[in-house]
Every structure is written in C-alpha cells, then in structure tokens.
Homo-oligomer: A and B are copies of this chain.
C-alpha cells in the first residue's frame, strides 16, 4: 500500500562497505571484480579523506546475474581485500536484522518507530522492547512485539544489564535503539555492541550535553533548539554524530514549549539514523560518521 522508498522496487541486492587506506587502483580493482562476477551496480558512493589518506566506499548491486553467494564472495574477495588492507562487510538488502528498542516514560520516539516499521520505512524486525517503566507495554502488545519490564536501580544495575544482555542474545539482536531511554549503559554493555547502539540526545550536541538540555537551552536563551542521534560510546553524549536537526524558538517559548518542539526533532533525527543504519549507509571513523547517499 505504502511506497517503501526505492528499495521496494529493486530486485534483491548486495551491499559492500569498504574502509581502507586510500591507494591508486582501489576503485579499478573493486569495480573490475564486481563486473567480472556479473554485478549490475545499482548505487555506488565513495568518500576520500584526503587529509588522513583514507578511502570509504558503499556499493550496491543486483543479485540477479551475480555469480557469487556469500561463501564464494568471501573466498574470492579475500585476496583483493588483503592486497589493499580493507576492512569490509557484505550485507544483503533482504535481510531483516533483529532490533531492540529501549525506552523509559517518554514514548513518542517508540510510537514513531513502531509506525514507521509498520508502513515499511525500516528494513528490520523489531524483536524486543525493553523498558524500566510499564507504560510502553500496551504499544508493544498492539504491534505484537515482546516486551520486557526491567526495573533499573542504583543497586541492581549490573544485574539488570546482565538480564538485558541475555534477552538480547536470545533474540539475536543486532541493533539497539535508545528511544529516550533514561538509563546510562555501562562501558561493558556498550563495548559489546560497539557501533550498534543508537541514541537520541535532546539537544544540538555538543551544546547542552548531559541532563535536562531543554532547561539549559531555555536558561541560555538560544534562538534554535536541536536534537542529535549518535552511536553510543563509553563517553556519554560524545559518540559519533549521525544526524542533527533544529527548530526555531523565541522568547515566547517556555521550557514546556521547547520540550514539545523538541519531540518532533527527536523523532526525525532518531528515525533517520535507524533507517540509514539498516540500509548500511553509515561508516564511522575518527569518532565521526560517513553517511553514504
């Protein structure tokens, strides 16, 4: 019923993500390899960091006529990859990775993600909703998604995280979305899901990091407020930024108005980050992100 973006109208495709030192012959080598194996390229985008001498590429091709399956690809691509010192991954557009959404009491991001998923905007299965409050359970039930209430207190945090990890493992979760989840994850937890936890922070980072950013923005008298989606690292609010957006405010806006306007920003920047991650369009390096078009 809904248009689902261009992917819906394309045959099944493979996506190759590459990250390596920039050297002459790279693109020639990769494109010759793909051509030789019958790849009909649908999209290709590359980025060069000329200062650091790094090369990044995302190439997507139709599987129709391509003569390598995953195992054969690994076998045949290995020598080229090794010659150029590539870090690389191969993804398939028809995979539907399992995603867990963590949420606290503010449900607008969760509700938004669930509806986007329902109408086909997000190429994944939402396999689990975890919350430290019961309010999200009705929404989980409406969408038929398992819900786990995990009360987190100072004195049971390690236990709670252990239980959460068991749940995540049981469901084979590949991406965790913190949809206004108000608990700070431990370094151990974060380390297990490096570049696979996306958070939304309700300010235009690096301004107003930490708690109560809308209150801080109100105090400072800014004329624009923002929201930021980013990968979670061990350092709070300092991970690689994926997307940011802003809205105009005036002296008439009180803290409550900032919070209300901010909800629209949070929804948008978080959902874009999740969609791009699931489309394998993000590479991160040097605490930044490359977002392939």
Contacts and interface: CB of A to CB of B under 8 A. Distances in A.
Interface stretch (A2-10, A150-158, A168-176): A2-10
Given A31-B31, A119-B108, A221-B241, A46 B44 contact: yes
Contacts of A107: 115, 119
Nearest to A120: B260
A6 B257 contact: yes
Contact of A3 (B51, B226, B259): B259
Contacts of A51: 254
Contacts of A79: none
A206 interface: yes
A260 B28 contact: no
Highest count of chain B CB atoms <10 Å: which of A223, A242, A264: A223
A138 B287 CA distance: 43
Q: Is the interface of A mostly helix, strand, loop or mixed?
A: mixed
Interface stretch (A35-43, A90-98, A185-193): A35-43
A245 interface: yes
A268 interface: yes
A242 B245 CA distance: 20
A27 interface: yes
A35 B43 contact: no
Interface residues of A, number: 79
A214 to B, nearest CB: 9
B3 A221 contact: no
A241 B223 contact: yes
A70 interface: no
A128 B80 CA distance: 53
A105 interface: yes
A194 B256 CA distance: 31
A144 B112 CA distance: 19
A204 B221 contact: no
A45 interface: yes
Contact of A260 (B108, B121, B264): B121
26 contacts: A3-B256, A3-B260, A5-B254, A5-B256, A6-B50, A8-B256, A24-B38, A27-B27, A27-B41, A42-B48, A42-B50, A43-B48, A45-B45, A47-B252, A107-B115, A108-B115, A111-B115, A142-B142, A204-B204, A204-B207, A205-B220, A206-B207, A221-B241, A221-B288, A224-B226, A224-B246
Given A31-B31, A111-B111, A250-B291, 9 more contacts: A2-B106, A2-B259, A3-B259, A6-B256, A28-B32, A121-B260, A204-B207, A221-B287, A222-B241
